[in-house]
Chains A and B, each alone.
Chain A
Amino acid sequence: MKTKFKIRRSDPLKAEPYWQAYSVEVKEGMTVLDALLKISEGDDPTLSFRRSCRSAICGSCALTINGFPKLACSTQILPIAKETREVTVEPLSNHQVIKDLVVDFTPFWNKMEKVTPFLLPADETRKEWVIKKEDEKAIDRAQKCIMCGSCNAVCNSLDVDPNFIGPAASAKAWRFVGDVREGHRKKRLERLSGEHGVWDCVRCVHCTEYCPKDAAPLEAIERLRAKAIEEGVVENPGAKHVLSLVDSIKRVGRLDEAAMTFKTLGFLRSLGMIPFGLKMEIHGKLPHPIIFLAIEGMKEVKKIYSAVEKRRKKG
């Protein structure tokens, strides 16, 4: 079946990126990478893209295919071509383009380095550690990461703040924090809870949704947050926000926004929120700052809290 490929190309010497179309004869089982190779070996050898293992394990060929990040090597063409009649291929978003489909991965690797990406064992001399199945399992998913960059490409927080640590490096960080052999857990959590750290994730779930290896970066981020609170790393807006939410619901059964603002930001920084509060007041959206009624059925809320507490004590 002849299939039209629309490829987003850029030449460092030309100012604007442009679309180029190719027609490729597609057979059953052919992948997008096969098509790119076919184009570069025949029609157009100037087309640049990264590739290596072609079996979905080296992480070289993540591209935006029909609008979403995918590994070119494990994406079959026929199922998508039947649906959309053409296949568009673009470089990964949230990354600077170098040429054609090749993007600059330097910021990606720099983020990895920021999380101290190696084990700092609690006991350097120990020969073989006894590792229980559940310990192995705790970090198994994060360890499946192949560093293809798909998650960072669809991360909404990274889109807004290029300094955000991002899902890929967070998954890497959890791989160490969650390792029973690690000796510097708390120090790691303190750094990860700082500015541009794991609390900046807005939990849009894109990273987990588009991960081609089921590494579930969001799960790693959530585990890091929970572990940070568990270890008492709470002197930061993210942890404070969560704790005040828990507290607010415990007290009144719903969000007490004014109190939460104070608890999250502290007194001085809350003053800075006054203009925003006034705007809300004009639109009738500001909850009463002092009179704040608990919901009916607080009894049920209390029950939930004590049940959770019991379960936590049991571990």
Chain B
Amino acid sequence: MVIHDVIVIGAGLAGMRAAVEAAREGLNVAVVSKVHPVRSHSVAAQGGINAALKETDSWEDHMFDTVKGSDYLADEDAVEVLCREAPADIMELERMGAVFSRDDAGKIAQRPFGGAGYPRTCYLADRTGHGLIHVMYEQLAKKNVYLYDEWHVVEIVVEDKSVRGVIALELLTGKLHRLHSKAVVIATGGYGRLFNTTTNALSSTGDGMALALRAGAPLMDMEFVQFHPTTLKRTGILMTEGARGEGGYLINKDGERFMKRYAPKTLELASRDVISRAEQREIEEGRGVDGCVLLDLRHLGEEKINERLPQIRELSINFAGKDPVREPVPVKPGAHYSMGGIWTDVDGKTPVSGLFAAGECACLSVHGANRLGGNSLLETIVFGRRAGSAAAGFSFENKLRVFPEDALKDTARGIALILNRAEGESASGILKEARDAVEGHCWVFRTEAGLKQGLLEIRKLKERYEGVCVTDRGDGFNTELVTALEAGYILELSEVMLLSALNRTESRGSHFRTDFPERNDREWLKHTLIYKKDGGYDIRYRDVVMTKFKPEERKY
């Protein structure tokens, strides 16, 4: 059997950063990813990465902005780590080979971003994630980390509450493999693909979260999904917040900069949840344009757009047929970021011994009820590094434990069941209905009746999923089988999200209940924790960690 000291699932920024850190300790590290590292969704991050670099800025200010942006649901001990360690991590990225865009003096430039009181977002034009993911892939090559790309982890093997390794499906051959290891780090990204309208890649199906839940780890704050205010109409493709950071306007059908009615001080640079709700209101109250509002960049001029936002121009032309130099681009809110995820401490540790998580799939929580732009790339680097280091430490301190005999057989049986089913429903049909249910009932505005309805629909679909069947019965590159497995994860996470949203009877950050429109600090300054138990779910709560700041009303 193949043995590694540390196995990382997922090869986005957090996963690769964790692998690089563990490999630094001289360990035998492997990354298992369903896509090649440079295809991971971190590549699509556009705007930038936050750090208090300047003397006139401070990590405390960064921390305050982050906590306020989170609508006071973030754990301040974790946010402190994030903001304190940010500057050193930026400098390390530079040493690894990243080239951040420069100011006139040749120093790292920083741009303003929503919800931040200081321009502290470092960037690489409007393709920061692309720049960083290639750098991290370079480091992976440098450190000789073993790479299993286009391998799908289908099971995290746990016995006696301690991790033993993973079982993965090699897409090329259709074979199942046992990968034995002392520590496993999950870094599989978010669950944007629970929705139809999302900025997320087709591969962001939340696999790692569902696998962790099945392996006994709890998921936290799954009701909090960030809706990005500027995504393209038909496809949900992202238009970076940097477009507004550089001075772009949001206007309605009357040409009015409507944000002045919702966030008079910060206008288009209010927090993302605030803007998405404002847009949804404008659209629902008839001041939209064909189901959208307009992102207007014309006044920035061609030169600035080409220099700072070249990709935005290209995407608008290719995917919306609008050249932002000449006309405004129709945009609307789209599911963008999963604040919720696998509960971990500041070292990425989950309650399952030897199991770690980092990046979007994890929840510490540093983003609370709403994430600030520029903080997610930062999270992948800071906590990817910390999780990698902790997993390495765990691997040094512990012996390799036995890989259970039956694990492979059980997993193989589950997959054979799908492959051999003579007739049934296709996964893509079930998925379509699931996404319609989630988008219809768990969108920007939520109600008790809607969430209950959504839950009902998802539970019915889960039953139907028991009879899922595939047409492609070949071994090599069976993408239909993969879709069927992903559908299982999506249904599971949809149910958990709806359940968490139904129980939280208040409005906070991205979670807005029209039947409970106020934030309720007396009862709800706490995190939702969901465990899997006897085929159902066990819901618990955990108090928010507060160290420095008292919750106050959030005004922008």
Given contacts A58-B38, A136-B102, contact A46 B471 (CB under 8 A): yes
Does A131 reach chain B (CB closer than 8 Å)? Answer: yes
Q: Are B476 and A98 in contact (CB under 8 A)?
A: yes
Q: Which residue of A lies closest to B141 (CB)?
A: A117
Does B234 reach chain A (CB closer than 8 Å)? Answer: yes
Contacts of A74 in B (CB 8 A): 318-319
Does A292 reach chain B (CB closer than 8 Å)? Answer: no
Select which of A29, A44, A55 is within 8 A of B315 by beta carbon. A55
Q: State in angstroms the CA–CA spacing of A13 and B319 once bound together.
A: 38
Given contacts A56-B314, A58-B44, contact A131 B99 (CB under 8 A): yes
Contacts of B238 in A (CB 8 A): 55
Tell me, rounded to whole Å, the shortest Cβ–Cβ distance linking A24 to chain B.
Answer: 15
Q: Which residue of A lies closest to B104 (CB)?
A: A133
Q: Are A29 and B470 in contact (CB under 8 A)?
A: no
Q: State in angstroms the CA–CA spacing of A73 and B137 once bound together.
A: 23
Contacts of B477 in A (CB 8 A): 48, 98-100, 102
Q: Which residue of B lies closest to A125 (CB)?
A: B95
Given contacts A29-B321, A57-B43, A113-B141, contact A52 B203 (CB under 8 A): yes
Does A53 reach chain B (CB closer than 8 Å)? Answer: yes
Q: A1-23 vs B: 1/0 string, CB under 8 Å? A: 00000000001110000000000
Q: Are B138 and A117 in contact (CB under 8 A)?
A: yes
Within 8 A of B (CB), among A104-139: 105, 109, 112-113, 117-119, 121, 124, 126-133, 136, 139
Given contacts A45-B480, A54-B201, contact A59 B38 (CB under 8 A): yes
Select which of B41, B91, B319, B471 is within 8 A of A45 by beta carbon. B471
Does B415 reach chain A (CB closer than 8 Å)? Answer: no
Within 8 A of A (CB), among B53-75: none
Classify chain A: how many residues form its interface, as a range.
Answer: 35 or more
Select which of B95, B314, B479 is within 8 A of A124 by beta carbon. B95
Does B130 reach chain A (CB closer than 8 Å)? Answer: yes
Tell me, rounded to whole Å, the shortest Cβ–Cβ distance linking B467 to chain A.
Answer: 16
Tell me, rounded to whole Å, the shortest Cβ–Cβ distance linking A182 to chain B.
Answer: 9
Q: Are A131 and B476 in contact (CB under 8 A)?
A: no
Q: Which residue of A lies closest to B471 (CB)?
A: A45
Does A179 reach chain B (CB closer than 8 Å)? Answer: yes
Q: Are B141 and A118 in contact (CB under 8 A)?
A: yes
Does B461 reach chain A (CB closer than 8 Å)? Answer: no
Tell me, rounded to whole Å, the shortest Cβ–Cβ distance linking B345 to chain A.
Answer: 30
Tell me, rounded to whole Å, the shortest Cβ–Cβ distance linking A21 to chain B.
Answer: 18
Does B142 reach chain A (CB closer than 8 Å)? Answer: yes
Does A32 reach chain B (CB closer than 8 Å)? Answer: no
Given contacts A52-B203, A131-B102, contact A119 B108 (CB under 8 A): no
Q: Which residue of B lies closest to A46 (CB)?
A: B472
Select which of A40, A52, A76, A147 is within 8 A of B41 by beta carbon. A52
Q: State in angstroms the CA–CA spacing of A118 and B142 once bound together.
A: 7
Contacts of B108 in A (CB 8 A): 128
Given contacts A45-B428, A128-B107, contact A54 B99 (CB under 8 A): no
Q: State in angstroms the CA–CA spacing of A144 and B127 once bound together.
A: 9
Q: Which residue of A lies closest to B103 (CB)?
A: A133
Q: Are B202 and A51 in contact (CB under 8 A)?
A: yes
Does A41 reach chain B (CB closer than 8 Å)? Answer: yes
Given contacts A102-B477, A139-B99, contact A129 B94 (CB under 8 A): yes
Task: Report, nearest first, the 7 A-B pairs whose CB atoms are least far apart.
Answer: A119-B97, A130-B106, A118-B138, A46-B472, A41-B428, A99-B477, A45-B480
20 A-B pairs with CB atoms under 8 Å apart are A29-B320, A29-B321, A41-B432, A45-B471, A52-B201, A52-B203, A56-B318, A58-B38, A58-B44, A76-B318, A98-B172, A98-B476, A109-B36, A117-B138, A118-B142, A121-B97, A128-B108, A133-B106, A136-B99, A139-B99
Residues of B in contact with A (beta carbons under 8 Å apart): 35-36, 38-41, 43-44, 91, 94-97, 99, 101-102, 104-108, 127, 130-131, 134, 137-139, 141-142, 172, 201-203, 234-235, 237-238, 311, 314-315, 318-321, 426, 428, 432, 470-472, 474, 476-480, 483
